[in-house]
Amino acid sequence: MRSKFGCLYLLLSEVFDEVGMSECGIVIDPKYIQKYTHIPFSTEQLNLKKSGVRNVDALVMTEASCLVLRYPNAHMRITTR
């Protein structure tokens, strides 16, 4: 979407649908997002064949992190109400 302020890239996500806010959206300025990692990304292979659970190879990927939106005025929640 183009405006007099520049290009606005739209991304459809089901996150608002899942929390009962399907008519809402959010505008985020990616320059002001900061990621904090509490548990670094790691992988672990599970041998489900040997344990007799399933006849598949399994890989568990884990990371615990959060995003922080700096400068609240740079972002906006859009609602229909």
> What own/partner pairs with CB < 8 Å and gap ≥ 24 does 2-8 have?
none
The answer to whether the beta carbons of residues 14 and 7 sit under 8 Å apart is no
Q: How many domains does the chain have?
A: 1
pLDDT digits (tens, 9 = 90+) for 7-58: 878 888 888 899 988 888 888 888 999 999 999 999 999 988 888 888 888 9
Q: Which parts of 1-81 fold into alpha helices (H)?
A: 15-18, 48-51
pTM score, two decimals? 0.56
Q: Round to whole Å and give the CA distance between 68 and 41.
A: 18
Which carries the bigger pLDDT value, residue 6 or residue 67?
Answer: 67
Domain range enclosing 48? 2-78
pLDDT at 16: 87
